[in-house]
Amino acid sequence: MRLLYGHFGLSPADASILAQAMEELPRLLAIPPVGLSIGTELVADSEDLERAFKDARESFGNPLLYDFMQNIRSQLGRDALLVVGCGKDHSLAREIRKINPDALWGGTWSEVGLAVCWRIEKPVVWHEALHLLGAHDCYCLPDKGPTCEQPNCIMQYMPSADAGGEQLALCSENIAALRSHVRTCTE
């Protein structure tokens, strides 16, 4: 798997937060008990993103997100996973909210390997990126209360700033899920 990131039209400040989050993620994931070795890469040529988006077409049974990721994968590799930062009203953010109306700051469609963040804060970026690596949400609807025992688990509904720091706050269920998913994908 290749964990890529890029953005559509973020301010320089937000683009920098996205980049920092994605650059720190491998170090955070390497710390035991997660202990995973994963690299992240900036989409080198942002024109690739623009082109993939421009060529994506929404039609019945072939939604925009699916088509966009098909295009990304044809340009950047079949094993590409992508974390995108964009504005709240960008089409990708709107499409993600169609799939998951409860998505507040970002959302992920794991089946196609795409995570979209429109609130650019490190915990949000980490939460969505971890979905791509096999983590599941730790909240239940409708009250969005936590379903795991880990205080500030980054997969709870509103990942807080405390969820990062020296190591990622992650519950044992999600640590196991990440390890198992990444192992399966890299075998």
Interaction site with Zn ion (CB under 5 A): 137-138, 148, 153, 155, 171
Locus of tokens 């072939």? 62
Nearer to Zn ion, 44 or 140 (CB): 140
Peptide bond into 63 cis (omega under 30): no
What is the C-alpha end-to-end distance of the chain, expressed in Å? 10
95 or 137, CB closer to Zn ion? 137
Kindly tell me which of 52 and 130 has the beta carbon lying closer to Zn ion: 130
CB atoms within 10 A of CB 94: 14
**In the complex, minimum distance from the CB of residue 187 to Zn ion, in angstroms, rounded to a whole number:** 25
CB of 62 to Zn ion, least distance (A): 25
Measured distance CA(116)–CA(107) in Å, rounded: 5
Contact 155, 130 (CB under 8 A): yes
Residue 14 or 137 with smaller CB distance to Zn ion: 137
CB of 111 to Zn ion, least distance (A): 14
Nearest distance from residue 29's CB to Zn ion, in Å?
15
Residue 76 to residue 15: CA distance in whole angstroms: 20
